Amino acid sequence: MQSGLDEKSLARSKPLIDLLAVFAGKYGVTPGQIALNWLIYYHGDTVVAIPGASKVRHARENIGAMSFRLEKQELEQLNEASWAAMK
């Protein structure tokens, strides 16, 4: 039964994961950087992003999330996809 729940969660999350990958390709960054950028710029007034970094390259990647700015429409698309993944 547990694997069925995991498959359903993955299916609900797939559009969000795919959107992160599309935007990552557009901006030449990682999907993680897109997600962090979205958190900072869309939820910045209500969310404080404190990403972990166990390696220097992780810290550099996190810093790189601030080197670009997603468009308002893209931020909205990510927000909608995020809410849909939680249903």
pTM of the model: 0.83
Residues in Cβ contact with 29 at an 8 Å cutoff, skipping those fewer than 6 apart: 37, 64, 65, 67, 68
What does each of the 87 residues of the chain score in pLDDT, given as a tens digit? Answer: 455 568 888 899 999 999 999 999 999 999 999 999 999 899 877 776 777 788 899 889 888 998 999 999 999 999 999 999 988
Q: Among candidates 38, 36, 32, 40, which has minimal Cα distance to 74?
A: 38
| Burial of residue 49, with CB atoms counted within 10 A of its CB: 0-12 exposed, 13-18 middle, 19 or more buried | middle
